[in-house]
Structure 1
Amino acid sequence: MAKSTRATQALAKAGIAFTVLSYDYESGAARIGLQAAQAIDEPPARVLKTLMVVVDGKPACAVVPSDGELSMKRVATAFGGKTAAMMPPAEAEKTTGYHVGGISPFGSRKRVPVALEAAAVAEPYVIINGGQRGVMVRLAPADAVRVLGAVVAALVA
């Protein structure tokens, strides 16, 4: 399993301090983020999942705790839109250049607006997908917000 991905390369290029974590990805897991949190023995509030969405017909990315349920109304509001919906998996893969289960907000093929759950910013560190199934990166939430140019908003229901 490669530990150097487009995501880790983008973080390194931006001068962001991060640690790479690996775990055994289970392709049949019902909730990938929760499976990752359990595998690396971290609280789900710190292990964030990357969800690709469409807001008023335009692609965007929401990064939320793995145990949180995304509120489409809050997502639309965070991006200044009226409607939001989950992006179909094939479209998410095409937009990001990553496979579902390995989608990272860092180093995506196409840069899209990103929103990060406000509650996660209070954590001492967060863990986000590193651009490959079974690869995560641990970094300061403020660094994630800065490198992504992310909006910080309440996104979970």
Structure 2
Amino acid sequence: MAGRGTPAIVLLTRQRVPHQVHEYAHDPRAASFGTEASEVLGLPAERVFKTLVAEVDGVLTIGVVPVSGQLDLKALAAAAGGKRAKMAEVAAAERATGYVAGGIAPLGHRKRLPVVIDSSATAFETIFCSAGRRGLEIELSPTDLATLADATIAPIAG
């Protein structure tokens, strides 16, 4: 299957973390990549998470929130131990992660970045997030994701 060897999938496989890869035909006209994944895979939007890159006090930081919600920048800043947060520029996010916007995975970044996962993820046995390209999702336990990403879990979705 094309694209299965993304850095996120390679990392999960190498670390022997249980996961499943779900591929679907991405529609380039889709307005929201996360909502598209939720609809095409027939999953509740609360269980599909999007990976957003923000700057917290000038440090690129990953926020992982349900596609049904939005990233609360104040909450992200607080969770990351900072004062101010703003969304990162797309080019900076792509450069630091090695992924294309709309396909940024919460794992396997080019640069080690702080990761904060919304606490709603812990309500599910498994969650879905980008595997590193549009049309490719990883299903894994939120605990495994948090451990592998060395993530903080905090209420960051608005």
CA drift of 1:79 comes to 0.2
1:50-70 alpha-carbon deviations (Å, 9 max, x no partner) = 000100001110001011111
State the partner residue of 1:155.
156
For the residue of structure 2 that corresponds to 1:20, the secondary structure is: strand
1:100-154 alpha-carbon deviations (Å, 9 max, x no partner) = 1111111110110000000111111100100111111001111111111110000
After the TM superposition, list the runs of 4 or more consecutive aligned residues in structure 1 that deviate by more than 6 angstroms. none
State the partner residue of 1:129.
130
Task: Give the TM-score, by structure 1 length.
Answer: 0.97
What value does the CA root-mean-square deviation take over the aligned residues?
0.9
Q: Distance in 1 between matches of 2:5 and 2:96?
A: 20
Flag structure 1 segments of 5+ consecutive residues without an equivalent. Answer: none
Q: Distance in 1 between matches of 2:18 and 2:84?
A: 35
State the partner residue of 1:72.
73
State the partner residue of 1:36.
37
Equivalent residues in 2 for 1:110-129, closer than 5 Å: 110-129=111-130
Flag structure 2 segments of 5+ consecutive residues without an equivalent. Answer: none
Q: Distance in 1 between matches of 2:80 and 2:28?
A: 31
CA drift of 1:31 comes to 1.6
CA drift of 1:26 comes to 2.1
* 1:103 correspondence with 2:87: no
Q: Distance in 2 between matches of 1:85 and 1:29?
A: 25
Task: Give the TM-score, by structure 2 length.
Answer: 0.96
For the residue of structure 2 that corresponds to 1:91, the secondary structure is: helix
Query: What is the total number of aligned residue pairs between the two structures?
Result: 157
Decide whether the 8 Å contact of 2:48 with 2:127 is kept in 1: yes
Percent of aligned pairs with the same amino acid: 36
